[in-house]
Amino acid sequence: MKKQKSNMPAPLGTVPNGIKFSVFEKEKALNIFFVAGAPNMDVSVQCLRKLPASGADIIEIGVPYSDPLADGPVIRDAYARALASGVTLNKVLELVAAERRNVPVPIVLMIYSNLVLHRGEDNFIGDAVKSGVNGLIIPDMMYPYTKKFAAKCRAAGIAFIPLAAPATESGRIRDISLSGDGFLYYVNVEGITGVRENLPKGIARRLAKVSASSVLPVMSGFGISRPEHIKAVKKYVDGVVVGSAVQNLLNKGEKPWALVEELKCSFS
- The residues carrying an active-site annotation are 60, 71
Cβ–Cβ under 8 Å, residues 82 and 40: no
* Cα–Cα dist 143/162, whole Å: 9
Q: What string of H, E and C letters represents the secondary structure of the chain? A: CCCCCCCCCCCEEEECCEEEEHHHHCCCEEEEEEECCCCCHHHHHHHHHHHHHHCCCEEEEECCCCCCCCCCHHHHHHHHHHHHCCCCHHHHHHHHHHHHHHCCCCEEEECCHHHHHHHCHHHHHHHHHHHCCCEEECCCCCCCHHHHHHHHHHHHCCEECCEECCCCCHHHHHHHHHCCCECEEEECCCCCCCCCCCCCCCHHHHHHHHHHHCCCCEEEECCCCCHHHHHHHCCCCCEEEECHHHHHHHHCCCCCHHHHHHHHHCCC
- First-to-last alpha carbon distance for the chain, in angstroms, is 11
Please compute Rg for the chain using Cα positions.
17
Task: Answer whether 138's CB lies under 8 Å from 89's CB.
Answer: no
What is the bridge-based pairing of β-strands 218-221 and 184-187?
Answer: parallel
